[in-house]
Amino acid sequence: MIIENTTAFTEFLLAGLSDISELQVLLFVLFFGIYVLTLLANLTIILITWLSPNLHTPMYFFLGNFSFLEICYVSSTVPKMLSTLLAEHKTITYVGCLTQMYWFLLLGGTECYMLAAMAYDRYNAICRPLLYSVVLSRRTCLQLIFGSWIIGAVNASIHTALTFTLPFCANKINHFFCDIPPLLKLACVQTWANEVTVFLISGSVIVGSFILTIISYGKILSAILNIRLSSGKKKTFSTCASHFVVVMIFYGSGIFMYFRPKSSYSMDQDRLIAVMYTIIAPLLNPFIYTFRNSDVKAALSRLVDQIIITQKL
């Protein structure tokens, strides 16, 4: 349906995750399971870090906040995606689309700098252990988290405002959620200003935080190579390597998505890439960052034991 201007319609049509109708139910079951598992894993982390006094340290403070962020991040896109998989009319209201884009960009931008803050935390713990509690004070941790949310909010406000002031000639979004690239494809006018803004602002957010993260992991790697005990080196390297894999999935897919001209957008390909940083990365994060940690495993075991004892009483 061709639309004359933005005041002539009140909703968008979402193409969804797949155009093959026979796959809709299967995809719903698969991604519903992933969504529930992601929520349960992150809620468990929040509960453990809150109830375990021995986990009241900067590292777990960041992990608890990161888990809360992940719950919000995955919930900004997946519930609507699940509903469109089973719906006959895959629509989202104009206001709903605007709101979804704002929260997705806010949470995504916040996650970029939260990952950088967590890498900085690990750098101080491994490379400057004697100064760790001084450098990562409660106030500093709060400032890093608050700063991450501020950067995410500014990033989201700029892109959402610029995107939704464009006149749209069509209302079918060839994607499973409202994102910048598919909406730019619907614009009736030249979008070079939007593309330059995405490149500059998103470049500052994504690439800037990525560089900070890489610097921290680079220094950690250098410190690991100086560890004499092979067992200690292997354990620390394994932990940081797994962290780095998740970082590369999140940043790599995000950079690929937003750092291309509009003419090179391929929405079928981009939907697959978007799944990586909107669904797969949030699923992997709690298991990579937290559940492989021996302290968390011990705290989870104690919590389960307490629940069992309480039920018996």
The SS3 assignment for 169 reads: coil
Mean pLDDT of 136-145: 94
Order of strands across the sheet with 11-14?
91-93, 11-14, 172-173
CA distances from 282 to 37, 60, 231, 243, 289 (A): 10, 17, 30, 13, 11
Q: CA triplet 209, 179, 283: central angle to 5 degrees? A: 60
End-to-end CA distance of the chain: 64
pLDDT single digits (tens) 18-57: 777 778 899 999 999 999 999 999 999 998 888 888 888 8
User: Which of 8-22, 170-184, 242-256, 259-273 tops mean pLDDT?
Assistant: 170-184
Q: Are 176 and 17 in contact (CB under 8 A)?
A: yes
What pLDDT is attached to residue 74?
95
The SS3 assignment for 177 reads: coil
The SS3 assignment for 11 reads: strand
pLDDT at 5 over 50: no
What pLDDT is attached to residue 129?
87
Backbone φ and ψ of 187, nearest 5° = -70, 145
pLDDT single digits (tens) 74-93: 999 999 999 998 888 889 99
pLDDT single digits (tens) 92-128: 999 999 999 999 999 999 999 999 999 999 899 888 8
Q: Which domains does the chain carry? A: 11-312 (1.20.1070.10)
pTM value is: 0.87
Mean pLDDT, the chain, whole residue set: 84
What pLDDT is attached to residue 4?
44
Q: HEC profile for the chain? A: CECCCCCCCCEEEECCCCCCHHHHHHHHHHHHHHHHHHHHHHHHHHHHHHHCHHHCCHHHHHHHHHHHHHHHHHHCCHHHHHHHHHCCCCEEEHHHHHHHHHHHHHHHHHHHHHHHHHHHHHHHHHHCHHHHHHHCCHHHHHHHHHHHHHHHHHHHHHHHHHHCCCCECECEECCCCCCHHHHHCCECCCCHHHHHHHHHHHHHHHHHHHHHHHHHHHHHHHHHHCCCCHHHHHHHHHHHHHHHHHHHHHHHHHHHHHCCCHHHCCHHHHHHHHHHHHHHHHHHHHHHHHHCCHHHHHHHHHHHHHHHHHHHC
User: 45-59, 141-155, 224-238: which range is least confident on average?
Assistant: 224-238
